[in-house]
Amino acid sequence: MDKIQEMHGRDMTLVVEKTLTATDMSRGQSRLSIPNKQIRQSFLREEEIRILDRKEGIKVSLIEPCLEVSHGLQLKRWNYKSRNFSYVLTERWNGVAHPYARNELMKDVVIQLWSFR
């Protein structure tokens, strides 16, 4: 929270608290899955939802657990045949997830993902 305030962030919202899976941590997958059913509250504006509905990505920055800020990640929406969907953080996710020492991220670690403006 201190880092968000330092960046003059506002509208902080806890998006999800989840346990990292093997695929979240797989270098080959290179993405963090944010399942819709696990999202605690809406965090997107109407225009952002429309962008994702058009299968476009939204460039986002991420405050890593080590408090470094990573830029250039993409937030996307992946739809599944079952009408379920997940948001995913792609591009540059491997730079956050690996090397392990910097953020201590690994399978079965519980993380929180917050949104702010």
CATH of the domain at 65: 2.40.330.10
In angstroms, the CA 7 to CA 9 distance is 5
In the block, residue with structure tokens 């079965």: 108
Is 90 exceeded by the pLDDT of residue 81?
no
Total number of domains constituting the chain: 1
Structural domain that includes position 110:
3-115
pLDDT at 2: 87
pLDDT at 80: 85
- Strands 110-115 and 85-90, by their bridges, are unpaired
| Joined tokens for residue 2 | 């201190």
pLDDT at 82: 74
Write down the mean pLDDT value for the chain. Answer: 93
Of all residues in the chain, the percent with pLDDT exceeding 70 is 100
In angstroms, the CA 117 to CA 10 distance is 5
pLDDT at 12: 92
